A and B are shown apart, each in its own frame.
Chain A
Amino acid sequence: DVVMTQSPLSLPVSLGQPASISCRSSQSLVYSDGNTYLNWFQQRPGQSPRRLIYKVSNRDSGVPDRFSGSGSGTDFTLKISRVEAEDVGVYYCMQGTHWPPITFGQGTRLEIK
């Protein structure tokens, strides 16, 4: 199984400041079709996960443009340019290239400092 490793696991950030979460996979996530199936999710307290980013860098509809995804191969990053109060929650990366099984990172808890 592909292991997804996120860092940091806890991320205190002041309002208006940038935030960055790293996700590393145990093997390349480039699929035979040339796509890289790496997604990012946000889970606010008491809510279901919500997909923010798909295939590394594509923002889902309705996701603010302060969220961006980047990376390639085995190293990926989710960035928030200016953290707002509504961004509090847990963020997960997920790979869908080498499945089954789909695998998720451990989650990064973002809190306001």
Chain B
Amino acid sequence: EVQLVESGGGLVQPGGSLRLSCSASGFTFSSYTMHWVRQAPGKGLEHVSAIRNNGGSTFYADSAKGRFSISRDDSKNTLYLQMSSLRAEDTAVYYCVRDGFDFWGQGTLVTVSS
């Protein structure tokens, strides 16, 4: 059974940093491009970042460029999103998603507030 379990969310002050993790199981993690998608409270879905399998190339939404860094550890079947210089508008549930968008994690809530 495919499972994606996010962790690392929480309350952080503006300008602060947070690292999200996504632990994957039930499939060959190293074979898949992986994505982060976020959803602000009461809003729609936004594709934030992606990393291809073999870690070769990465993508960032304009809203994340220069502040977020995506990475993966295939030996640990884990996806990461390092977020810095956080702003109030980064407040959202962050979902880890397998390529194809067939499997989503339960999401982890990031709240940026003083």
- Cβ of A97 within 8 Å of any chain B Cβ, yes or no, is no
Q: Are B101 and A51 in contact (CB under 8 A)?
A: yes
Query: Would A100 and B101 be within 8 Å (CB), given that A48-B107, A92-B45 are in contact?
Result: no
Q: Are A100 and B95 in contact (CB under 8 A)?
A: no
Query: Would A107 and B44 be within 8 Å (CB), given that A48-B105, A48-B107 are in contact?
Result: yes
Q: Are A51 and B102 in contact (CB under 8 A)?
A: yes
Task: Give A49's nearest chain B residue, CB to CB.
Answer: B104
Q: Are A48 and B100 in contact (CB under 8 A)?
A: no
Residue of B44, B45, B46, B59 near A100 (CB, 8 A) is B59
- Cβ of B87 within 8 Å of any chain A Cβ, yes or no, is no
Tell me the chain B residues, 81-114 only, with Cβ under 8 Å from chain A. Answer: 95, 100-102, 104-107
Size of interface on A: residues with Cβ below 8 Å to B:
20
Shortest distance in angstroms between B56's beta carbon and chain A's nearest beta carbon?
14
Instruction: Kindly supply a per-residue 1/0 record for chain A positions 27-64, scoring 1 wherever the CB is within 8 Å of any chain B CB and 0 otherwise.
Output: 00000000000010100000011110010000010000
Q: Are A41 and B101 in contact (CB under 8 A)?
A: yes
Interface footprint category on B: 10 to 19
Task: Give B33's nearest chain A residue, CB to CB.
Answer: A99
Instruction: Give the interface of A toward B (CB within 8 A).
Output: 39, 41, 48-51, 54, 60, 92, 94, 96, 99-107
Given contacts A101-B47, A105-B44, 13 further A-B contacts (CB under 8 A): A39-B101, A48-B105, A48-B106, A51-B101, A54-B100, A54-B102, A60-B102, A94-B45, A100-B50, A100-B59, A101-B61, A102-B37, A102-B50
Instruction: Give the interface of B toward A (CB within 8 A).
Output: 35, 37, 44-47, 50, 59, 61, 95, 100-102, 104-107
A–B Cβ pairs within 8 angstroms, 24 of them = A39-B101, A48-B95, A48-B104, A48-B105, A48-B106, A48-B107, A49-B95, A49-B104, A51-B102, A60-B102, A92-B44, A92-B45, A96-B101, A99-B47, A99-B50, A99-B59, A101-B59, A101-B61, A102-B47, A102-B50, A102-B101, A103-B47, A104-B47, A106-B44
